[in-house]
Structure 1
């Protein structure tokens, strides 16, 4: 009986592991409904295996161009140009797959500014509350020119964590990152106490979408490779020479 329970538990754990691995191989697409600009497209969604990212540019009866984006069945992607409900005309309908957020650049839906997009699940101004798992934060926000992406992990209760993400002042981030580089050392979390157990800033697009410790280790690695810009908090691309 105990052996049977052990086998069942093993199978459940194996299934959960496979599901988690599968999750990260699924396409992620920007998602929005009837917006007029890229900046209003604040969410993204994880698609199924039989889906691709899409963007529709629609012309309303009043002549206004609006965009819809998200996941669409690959079979449906093969058909385009059909009239939509409410009398909208389809000016453009395209699908893509491969890279995450590949629909960022379809049908004229593109970023108009140089402001950094960051994951933002901070529970403020109607944004989602910090989730238990960082991949469950599907809300994006453009930071101000004086801000960078920020991520932290804190104890929610005795047995679970919460992953907080937002935009934060570059002045605060500069001080935080200076402290991290002066004191950083890889070690286990050990006994968990209440409060924040990790905090980090970064300047690349959506660089705060991973767990805080993962982001911190990545930045530490880039720094050792002399590929981290301490002024912009961004990754320095490999040199062609």
Structure 2
């Protein structure tokens, strides 16, 4: 598996992994990402996840990713049937149980997450105590449509969508907290599309939107 940052492989080999976890509320969730080959061999039979849930399935793989295909762990632990329904995203600092917190370099985020059926990828640039940090994860599609289309309009993209009407159905929010400011907040609908800084992902969406290749409903690129 090719990692986003080559220096992470300097000292040991890494593989993709997937875990099916049964939470204390008896919900089935999936945890995916990268871990060392040594950890894959040692923890393949671990019965309890770091979040406290029980691990029903745990597998690693290192099959090279081919063009137009998903990572090798997308077909493990029974996920194949869900592949066309759920979006897979980079995932750092967005949820309380994330093994990676917010990062100061987008390339540092190697954790991955299988989002819910009504969620897509998101990335946020934050200023926390004067330090720029990046948060990656999943957000509700309706919320994403609202603030992403508003953000594209501010970048000069004419979407033809009534932002006021859309905000009435969703949640158009400007977040401002003491010592924490969201400088950029964007979503995208393709697998692992939140693979860079918020500003970079936004520029990418603007390019596709101006070329009439962005679906404003799903926020996916039109092939």
TM-score normalised over the length of structure 2: 0.61
- Residue 103 of structure 1 corresponds to which residue in structure 2? 72
Deviations 1:2-33 (A, max 9, x none): xxxxxxxxxxxxxxxxxx98559999842247
Of 140, 147, 151, which residue of structure 2 is paired with 1:180? 151
Q: Distance in 1 between matches of 2:208 and 2:106?
A: 21
Of 9, 20, 34, which residue of structure 2 is paired with 1:44? 34
Deviations 1:71-97 (A, max 9, x none): xxxxxxxxxxxxxxxxxxxxxxxx533
Q: Structure 1: 5+ residue runs without aligned partners?
A: 1-19, 48-53, 60-64, 71-94, 186-192
- Residue 9 of structure 1 corresponds to which residue in structure 2? none
Q: Structure 2: 5+ residue runs without aligned partners?
A: 22-28, 46-55, 157-178
1:217 aligns with 2:203: yes
Q: Distance in 1 between matches of 2:202 and 2:36?
A: 25
- 1:1-241 alignment to 2 at 5 Å? 22-23=6-7, 29-32=15-18, 40-45=30-35, 67-70=58-61, 96-97=63-64, 99=66, 102-104=71-73, 110-113=79-82, 114-122=85-93, 124-127=95-98, 128-158=100-130, 160-184=131-155, 195-237=181-223
Q: Distance in 2 between matches of 1:175 and 1:137?
A: 26
Could you tell me whether the CA contact under 8 Å between 2:148 and 2:187 is conserved in 1? yes
Q: Secondary structure at the match of 1:149?
A: strand
CA RMSD of aligned residues (A): 3.8
Could you tell me whether the CA contact under 8 Å between 1:227 and 1:235 is conserved in 2? yes
Q: Distance in 2 between matches of 1:97 and 1:210?
A: 21
User: Which of structures 1 and 2 has the bigger CA Rg?
Assistant: 1
Q: Secondary structure at the match of 2:191?
A: coil
Structure possessing the higher relative contact order (Cα contacts under 8 Å, 6 or more residues apart) = 2
**Cα distance change of structure 1 residues 29 and 112 upon mapping to structure 2, 3 Å threshold:** farther
**Cα distance change of structure 1 residues 41 and 195 upon mapping to structure 2, 3 Å threshold:** closer
Q: Distance in 2 between matches of 1:107 and 1:151?
A: 26
Q: Give the length in aligned residue pairs.
A: 172
